[in-house]
Structure 1
Amino acid sequence: MEYNKADLSACTSILIGKKATIDGSTIIGRNEDAQASWPKHFVVREHQEFLTEQEFISTANNFKMPLPKIRYKYTATPEWTTKEGLFEEDGFNEYGVAMSATESAYANETVLGADPLVEDGIGEEAMVTVVLPYVKTAREGVARLGEIVEKYGTCETNGILFSDADEVWYLETGTGHYWVAQRIPDDSYAVVANQLAIQEVDFDDPDNFMFAKDLQTFVTDNHLNPNPETFNFRNIFGTHTLSDEHYSTPRVWWGQQQFSGATEESPMSEDLSFIKKANRLLSIDDAKMYLSSHYEKTEYDPLNESAQNHLFRPISLAKTQESHLLQHRPNMAPEVACVHWLAMGVAAQSVYVPFYMGMNDTPSAYKIGTLPYDGESAYWAYKLVSVLVDGHYKEFGKQLQTTQKKVNITLNKLVRSTDKIAQQMDNPGDLAQYLTEASAQGAKEALQAYRQLTADIITASTDFSPLNFKTDLNL
């Protein structure tokens, strides 16, 4: 089975600053959306020191570049096959830097005509691999990726998320060599959905903006800015189409309505703000809710029977391969502070399992899974529940929700108890082993609950056959 992921990727992202969260965490996250049946793995790439400089060569488009001799430890969610590229997508490194790549976006024909995409430039499939293991801060991550885009070019228009204990950044590539990045204010959040999102760029504010060195000159020389008194990256480089209004902006609208309160703004508005302040302090559970949502309690929810139920593309959908949230919590060592919350499959029908950055391995079920279906794989265990529930949502939807609630409570309790013990441990080896075991225990309990749910649904479904017949006592 083959497909071009670049043609299908369509994700949704969230970024939250440390003063906007209930516990001082920085949070970034994204749904990786591409294809309904395309397994993901979850791995730890150990710290390595090579004798000679390494080289990255893409199997997707032959992009290549040299890599440093020292590669920091990091977590990643690669594809089940490397044939179309690695697509490591998301993770933490040993310094507590988080990265998620990418949020697919679209540039307009005018800017692409002035600086076309580069066929063998860096793309989504390579970004985490060549950036995350080589930076010590989120700001360094932005700078490294920006330099790569300027030097080698990029083959796609994308948004990339970075964070560490203090800062949250969003970088956008607009054309083959031009990019801009904005720091999300500490007291704010942003939600992004397949559009270039960054608006006004302040070229005199290096604390909050980074950009390609000739960006202004490029725009001026090519007469690309329709409003020269400002520099609105979205308006200059982005698109404004009917497709945007049905596919992208409703997801941004939904998140802003949930976090900042109801407004009269239309779901199809092209003028929604990139940066927003919430009407309360946000938690990791708020972020999970957003990435697993589908316009609940509105006429746009695909699960209701409204005439509008498929007007807009939902946030959580069948093409989600995995959903992740990268939470860096304050006042702890990075090994304990950094939690990689991972929901395999469709977020609305899965659960976010917490994995500590300090672990040295992932459970075996997370390192396997191919095509076709593999019953031992974590990816397929969660996908199977989705398939079974989708066929009879009225019968099994409540049962799914009950299982999710029980598992979430169990996992939240596990994190609290693990934190207490881990923060008292001084020996690095013992801490790594403990965090590995604790992460594996959470994954085990969640998988057991979902496999039990699968068994219950299959057992109950045996009476749904169209060959069934109710006997009339008069016969």
Structure 2
Amino acid sequence: MTANHFRYLVGFAAFGFVMGTVSSASACTTVLVGKNASTDGSTMIARNEDVDTSWAKHYVYHPATSGTNTQYRSTDNGFTVDLPTNAQSYTSTPDWQQKKGQDQFGEDGINSSNVAMSATESGTTNKQAQKADPFVKKGISEPSMVDVVLPYATSAKDGVKQLGHIVETKGSAENNGVIFSDKNSIWYMEIGSGHHWAAVRVPNNKYAVIPNQNVIGNVDTKKSNFMTSKNLPKFVKNHHLNGYVNSHQVNFAQAFGTNNKEDATYNRPRIWDGQRILTPSKKQSITQKHYAMFMKPDHKISVQKVQQVLGSHFNNTKYDSNGKWVGGYRPINVPTDVESHILQIRPNVPKEMAGVQWLAMASPATSVYVPFYTNVNSTPNNYQKGTDKPDSESAYWTYKMTKVLTDPYKNKLVNKDVVPVQKKTTSHLKTSLKNNDQQAKNLTGDELTNFLTQCNQQNADYAQNVFQKLNNKLIVDSTRQTKIVQDKNL
């Protein structure tokens, strides 16, 4: 989430935080899970997209194109780039304000090569690095990234190379973290200044929880698990930035990022919370100044465990933002969540159905993640609707209404009404995905694509119908709870 999205934030001021020197406040939280750290050998990249308290996101499919020499031009900041003539099909979750030729804020998706991309995790660049290599006003920024990179990436590493080339030649307009994955690997990339970046391959047996802060530490340009902009160590040395080690090693976070009092309340606590959930054996303090970027989980991580992290607001701790909220630390789950995604590339099914895009509209704490195949010809109708005004049809507003109805009593109604429905719906969707996988193995070509498209619509309809009924119950329970509170006060 960038400063462009920030202009829409309504509820965010309640946090009272001011981010560093380059961006205004920023949001989102990322979770990365290496294939040997997951329960089924899948790679998983996930992120909450935080924008506004009422800002619908859509889920769309972009068909492949060929023979077209296209120049992309951003309507947001004037960024331009020449695109290849052939583009793969891909999915994305753009803003509801979709107009032809305008930036989409595509945010996340999977292409026909089963390459996944999530962009972006907004960050802050320190003053010294910003002065040494200022951001480029017409450089690439979040609104454009998915649409100019994902259709052309053939692997996770290739995605980093393509975006890195754009940053070095066209410049970047902002500090961002970007994630790419395929069935074998995950690469996490940070853009620290106008033309400099670094990327690290996530260890297969580890995970990462990343807030709005540069977290890539020691980078060795001679090792294959790192990629960087050209002459990065030389640049850091010549401009006397922190983090220089030698001619082939730098600490990227020290050179470009921040680790100040704002990070202590806004960013680092989210790392603590995610690691608390996934590696509870590791005893740490929420006030630590440094956390390891990569950690081994105590147990293999499932999709549902990632969902738990993305929905966390320091649950079952004194820091719970739905409770006493001791310390006022910024949680992972916030009122401005507009969608949450888990991009899973599975190794144990045919490649034509390996990519699954799990989407939870609005708040992941009160929504449900619906699994969507990405080898399709369209997306569910109810995920192509919704604006900034409430309606009775779109997926976004159904799940947003659940959040609104539980807010006055927060944990009470969530635990009583929402959690049981979430568990039941998730169980149904997991079974449905498994059954659909079995049926799909016997299909090919258009028949397979049509079947997977139909499965997505059925799962979308099922989950939304369940939550519409839940919302009706919440209206009754919420008003009843209001009467109980009122009677006690009389």
Q: Deviations over 1:364-391 (max 9, x none)?
A: 1110111221221111110011001112
Asked if the contact 2:322–2:411 (Cα under 8 Å) also holds between the matched residues in 1, the reply is no
Q: Deviations over 1:218-255 (max 9, x none)?
A: 11111113553552111111101111011100111111
Counterpart CA distance in 2 for 1:358 and 1:221 is: 48
Which residue of 2 is the match for residue 112 of structure 1?
130
CA shift, 1:394, in A, is: 5.7
Which residue of 2 is the match for residue 134 of structure 1?
152
CA 1:280–1:307: 2 relative to 1, 3 Å: closer
Which residue of 1 is the match for residue 255 of structure 2?
236
Which residue of 1 is the match for residue 212 of structure 2?
194
Counterpart CA distance in 2 for 1:97 and 1:270 is: 34
Counterpart CA distance in 2 for 1:237 and 1:3 is: 22
Counterpart CA distance in 2 for 1:21 and 1:469 is: 48
Which residue of 1 is the match for residue 359 of structure 2?
342
Which ranges in structure 1 are unaligned for 5 or more consecutive residues?
471-475
Residue pairs, 1:202-241, within 5 angstroms? 202-206=220-224, 208-226=225-243, 228=245, 231-241=250-260
CA shift, 1:302, in A, is: 1.4
- SS at 2:341 equivalent: strand
Query: Is residue 382 from structure 1 mapped to residue 399 from structure 2 by the alignment?
Result: yes
Which residue of 2 is the match for residue 78 of structure 1?
94
Counterpart CA distance in 2 for 1:469 and 1:313 is: 31
Q: Deviations over 1:37-73 (max 9, x none)?
A: 11100000011113x3111111111111111111110
CA 1:178–1:349: 2 relative to 1, 3 Å: same
Counterpart CA distance in 1 for 2:128 and 2:273 is: 30
Please point out which of 331, 335, 346 is paired with 1:314: 331
Counterpart CA distance in 2 for 1:286 and 1:149 is: 34
Please point out which of 67, 84, 99 is paired with 1:68: 84
The one-letter code of the counterpart of 1:110 is Q
Please point out which of 9, 24, 44 is paired with 2:41: 24
Asked if the contact 1:400–1:453 (Cα under 8 Å) also holds between the matched residues in 2, the reply is yes
TM-score by length of 2: 0.91
CA 1:368–1:265: 2 relative to 1, 3 Å: same
Counterpart CA distance in 2 for 1:468 and 1:108 is: 48
Counterpart CA distance in 1 for 2:189 and 2:394 is: 33
The two structures, once aligned, show a CA RMSD in angstroms of 2.0
Counterpart CA distance in 2 for 1:335 and 1:170 is: 25
**Relative to structure 2, which stretch is displaced further, 443-452 or 281-290?**
281-290
Counterpart CA distance in 1 for 2:277 and 2:437 is: 30
Asked if the contact 2:233–2:244 (Cα under 8 Å) also holds between the matched residues in 1, the reply is no
Please point out which of 162, 165, 170 is paired with 2:180: 162
Residue pairs, 1:253-332, within 5 angstroms? 253-304=272-323, 306=324, 308=326, 311-332=328-349
**Relative to structure 2, which stretch is displaced further, 228-237 or 458-467?**
458-467
Query: Is residue 14 from structure 1 mapped to residue 17 from structure 2 by the alignment?
Result: no
**Relative to structure 2, which stretch is displaced further, 159-168 or 277-286?**
277-286
Which ranges in structure 2 are unaligned for 5 or more consecutive residues?
9-22
The one-letter code of the counterpart of 1:355 is F
CA 1:307–1:261: 2 relative to 1, 3 Å: closer
CA 1:248–1:3: 2 relative to 1, 3 Å: closer
Counterpart CA distance in 1 for 2:254 and 2:55 is: 34
- SS at 2:438 equivalent: helix
Counterpart CA distance in 2 for 1:251 and 1:141 is: 27
TM-score by length of 1: 0.94
Please point out which of 58, 70, 73 is paired with 2:74: 58
CA shift, 1:359, in A, is: 1.9
Which residue of 1 is the match for residue 384 of structure 2?
367
Q: Deviations over 1:265-288 (max 9, x none)?
A: 321222111111112211111111
Q: Deviations over 1:20-44 (max 9, x none)?
A: 1111100000000121111100000
- SS at 1:71 equivalent: coil
**Relative to structure 2, which stretch is displaced further, 338-347 or 452-461?**
452-461
Q: Percent identity?
A: 40
Query: Is residue 89 from structure 1 mapped to residue 107 from structure 2 by the alignment?
Result: yes
CA shift, 1:344, in A, is: 0.3
- SS at 1:354 equivalent: strand
Asked if the contact 1:59–1:82 (Cα under 8 Å) also holds between the matched residues in 2, the reply is no
CA shift, 1:82, in A, is: 4.3
CA 1:113–1:331: 2 relative to 1, 3 Å: same
Asked if the contact 1:94–1:334 (Cα under 8 Å) also holds between the matched residues in 2, the reply is no
The one-letter code of the counterpart of 2:132 is A
Counterpart CA distance in 1 for 2:364 and 2:243 is: 40
The one-letter code of the counterpart of 2:58 is H
Residue pairs, 1:428-467, within 5 angstroms? 428-463=445-480
- SS at 1:341 equivalent: strand
Counterpart CA distance in 1 for 2:241 and 2:192 is: 12
Residue pairs, 1:42-57, within 5 angstroms? 42-50=59-67, 52-57=68-73
Asked if the contact 1:334–1:357 (Cα under 8 Å) also holds between the matched residues in 2, the reply is no
CA shift, 1:461, in A, is: 4.1
- SS at 1:121 equivalent: coil
